[in-house]
Amino acid sequence: MRAFVAVATRGSFAEAARQLRLSPSVVTRSVADLEDRLGLVLLNRTTRSVRLTERGELFLESCRQVLEDIEEAERRVRGETAEPRGVLKVAAPILFGRLHVLPIVTRILTHYPALAVHLTLSDRNAHLAEESVDVAVRIGDLVDSSMRAIRLGSVSRILVASPGYLERRGLPQAPNDLSAHDTIAFESLDATNEWRFGPTGKLVRVEPRLTVNSADAAIAAAEAGLGISRTLSYQVMASVLAGRLVPLLVEFTVEKLPVSAIYPSRRIASTNLGTFLKNARDYFKDNPLRPIEEWESPVSITRVPHR
């Protein structure tokens, strides 16, 4: 059943095998054995795609429910105070995950030898049910009301540029000044070329000279003097404090975005999930996400720096 659900969700035997950490031949044989036992074709295979049959769609929902019931039965028999064991699947944005989630995972793995963690870092929001993710870290407003969430902190959008770029091109005084500047867009943060500013949500259209799909690349490009980039505060804090980047138009970028850990309500009794959430709360209590006004920046944010 697990093999069938993985193939149906991923639409690929190879992807399902990677998810389950099995060989493709084992996954293929498992699904074939299941179909033989049922006397039904659950998946239509072609050289280009794998699609559910009508019977397969009906069986998929039942399989998911059975697997969830098995997990719930295991959680109950172990008890809520049982030591974490098995595999915990966690998803997070790439840079946030590397900076803040990996230390949480490291702490957990150090204390619980029977637990393994599958940490997926991607700036694409994972679909928790379809990808069998136990808990995901999300930045921004939450739209899926079926998920439970705990607040870990908040961050803000921030414009940054290198001191060298500002010496060459000058300091923008208002959002409309951005039309005269080179900009760097980060696809996951900037769905369009319209950037929103201020309490009224004023939209300013920019024409990026560089568009990237990685926060690390956007920050590196800004540090190299290629233009002004819009990032999230936690992403550039180290660069700002080191003087490699200068925050811009801070008075116009006051919007706070929540950082949350979200998880399916059916997993609320999971010992593994509870362990992650407790350690996440402890971590951010000791390492809070600080707003920019609390940074001790060596570089002025209101005037052009001079060498």
Q: Where along the chain do its domains lie?
A: 2-78, 86-152+259-286, 155-256
CA 160 to the chain's CA centroid: 22
Residue, of 139 and 291, whose pLDDT is higher: 139
Looking at domain 2-78, does it have CATH number 3.90.650.10? no
Contact 228, 162 (CB under 8 A): no
Assign 15 a pLDDT band (cuts: 50, 70, 90): confident
pTM over 0.85: no
Residue 268: predicted pLDDT:
63
The predicted-structure confidence for 20-34, as pLDDT tens digits, reads as follows: 888 999 999 999 999
List, as one string, the DSSP characters of the chain.
-HHHHHHHHHT-HHHHHHHHTS-HHHHHHHHHHHHHHHTS--EEE-SS-EEE-HHHHHHHHHHHHHHHHHHHHHHHHH-TTSPP-EEEEEEE-HHHIIIIIHHHHHHHHHH-TTEEEEEEE-SSPP-TTTTT-SEEEEES----TTEEEEEEEEEEEEEEE-HHHHHHH----SGGGGGGS-EEEETTT-SSSEEEETTTTEEEE---SEEES-HHHHHHHHHTTS-EEEEEHHHHHHHHHTTS-EEE-GGG---EEEEEEEEEGGGTT-HHHHHHHHHHHHHHHHS----GGG---SS-SSS----
Assign 303 a pLDDT band (cuts: 50, 70, 90): very low
The predicted-structure confidence for 223-250, as pLDDT tens digits, reads as follows: 999 999 999 999 999 999 999 999 999 8
Any idea which of 39-53, 77-91, 208-222, 273-287 has the lowest mean pLDDT? 77-91
Assign 290 a pLDDT band (cuts: 50, 70, 90): confident
Mean per-residue pLDDT over the chain, rounded: 86
Considering 134-138, 268-272, 299-303, the range whose residues carry the highest mean pLDDT is: 134-138
200: left (phi over 0), alpha (psi -120 to 50) or beta: alpha
Answer positive or negative: Cα dihedral of 98, 216, 290, 239: positive
Structure-token pair, residue 92: 């997070």
Assign 67 a pLDDT band (cuts: 50, 70, 90): confident
CA distances from 51 to 13, 17, 46, 58 (A): 11, 16, 9, 13
CA distances from 223 to 122, 189, 229 (A): 23, 18, 10
The predicted-structure confidence for 127-180, as pLDDT tens digits, reads as follows: 776 677 899 999 988 776 677 889 999 898 899 999 999 999 999 999 999 989
Residue 307: predicted pLDDT:
39
Residue 301: predicted pLDDT:
46
Looking at domain 155-256, does it have CATH number 3.40.50.620? no
299 pLDDT above the threshold of 50: no
Assign 200 a pLDDT band (cuts: 50, 70, 90): low
Rounded to an integer, the average pLDDT of 187-206 is 76
Assign 109 a pLDDT band (cuts: 50, 70, 90): very high
218 pLDDT above the threshold of 50: yes
Residue, of 195 and 91, whose pLDDT is higher: 91
Comparing 86-152+259-286 with 155-256, is the CATH topology the same?
Answer: yes
- Percent residues over pLDDT 90 in the chain: 50
The CATH class for the domain spanning 86-152+259-286 reads alpha beta
CA–CA gap between residue 183 and residue 29 (Å, rounded): 52
